[in-house]
Amino acid sequence: MATYQPYTEYSSVTGGGFESTESRPTTTDSGSGNRSTTLTPVTIKQILNSTQEIQDGPFVSHGQELHHVSFVGVIRNITDHTSNIFVTIEDGTGQIEVRKWSDDANDMTTSQEDSEQTESSQIAQQYQIGTYVKVYGALKEFGGKKNIQYAVIKNIESFNDVLSHHLDAIKWHAVATGKVPDPSTTGDSQSVGGNGSATSGQSLFVTENSGSNNNGGDVRENVLNFIKEQCVGKDANQFAVPIQLIAQTLNIDEAIARQSCTTLTDQGTIYPTFDDNHYFAL
């Protein structure tokens, strides 16, 4: 795991969160039905400043409904409770604490025994302070505090992933404020952005199929279609498609299935739920 230069101090910067003094652009209901199945790239400040316009409704930030979100940041602190950890993550616009539950049997046993710990739990050892991570999950609020439900925290291996995420966040903020046409309403599926959505030539990224292996694209398409079929009518909080089932059903190697799911996650068409081995289609 590469360790990149972290921010020099806990950020007190007010910028970087896409503040805007402009009035919220007029929006219609067209395409709004798909918002609940959208993985929105955001900054932590957007999460913290988001508000609910109606009781029990979705959180909204500058016209964007935030249902499932993703963000990147530097780990500033890890609090180990054995069966789960609290990870404090900062991205230069703000910081948020994310709870991650362990699925390691040793952690569960140790937690039940409530013995005094001399070493970190298995889940705590997966992360290091000062390294970058990407977080996926559903934005919820409990006790007046925003948190990420069913959070998945993935270590970032390349700084390109950080830059890619921020470009995606900038693009969708521009869409929400009316600076860029909403790609979900254009009907153009030829150009695909970093989150996998049609962009009508507005993509900030090279398309996945440009000079790529067509066979790899076919496999990913089959994996995506299978996951979508399995997720129809299902609740993302209670159901997810495991990697093993994908590999067995499509008769492909598990490593290929995992690689396809990683690419589809980067494109924003699916996302990991309970852990890195279970996925749900958007």
Of residues 119 and 281, more confidence is placed in: 281
Q: Are residues 49 and 135 in the same domain?
A: yes
The residue-averaged pLDDT of 60-79 equals 90
Domain count, the chain: 2
Residue 216's pLDDT is what? 55
Q: Do 125 and 37 share a domain, yes or no?
A: yes
Residue by residue, what is the 3-state secondary structure of the chain?
CCCCCCCCCCCCCCCCCCCCCCCCCCCCCCCHHHHHHCEEECCHHHHHHCEECCCCCCEEECCEEECEEEEEEEEEEEEECCCEEEEEEECCCCEEEEEEECCCHHHHHHHHHCCCCCCCCCCHHHCCCCCEEEEEEEEEEECCEEEEEEEEEEECCCHHHHHHHHHHHHHHHHHHCCCCCCHHHCCCCCCECCCCCECCCCCCCCCCCCCCCHHHHHHHHHHHHHHHHHHCCCCCCCCCEEHHHHHHHHCCCHHHHHHHHHHHHHHCCEEECCCCCEEEEC
pLDDT of residue 212: 40
Mean pLDDT check: name the lowest of 13-17, 76-80, 131-135, 163-167: 13-17
In a domain? residue 177: no
CB 45 within 8 A of CB 65: no
For residue 57, the one-letter residue type is: G
Question: Is residue 235 domain-shared with residue 155, that is, in the same domain?
Answer: no
Mean model confidence pLDDT for the chain: 75
Q: Per the domain annotation, does 193 fall within a domain? A: no
Range of the domain at 226: 208-281
CATH number of domain containing 224: 1.10.10.10
Question: Are 149 and 218 in the same domain?
Answer: no
CATH number of the domain at 127, please. 2.40.50.140
Is 185 a member of any domain? no
Least confident stretch, 29-38, 101-110, 191-200, 220-229? 191-200
Q: Is residue 214 part of a domain?
A: yes
Pairwise CA distance, residues 110 & 105, whole Å: 9
Q: Is residue 68 part of a domain?
A: yes
Highest mean pLDDT among 115-124, 142-151, 173-182, 251-260: 251-260
Q: Span 237-246, mean pLDDT? A: 88
pLDDT for res 236: 77
Q: Does the pLDDT value for residue 186 go beyond 70? A: no
Looking at residue 119, its pLDDT comes to 58
User: In this structure, are 162 and 69 located in the same domain?
Assistant: yes
When mean pLDDT is compared across 204-213, 214-223, 256-265, the lowest value belongs to: 204-213
In-domain check, residue 229:
yes
pLDDT at res. 32? 43
Domain assignment of residue 20, yes or no: no
Q: Is residue 111 part of a domain?
A: yes
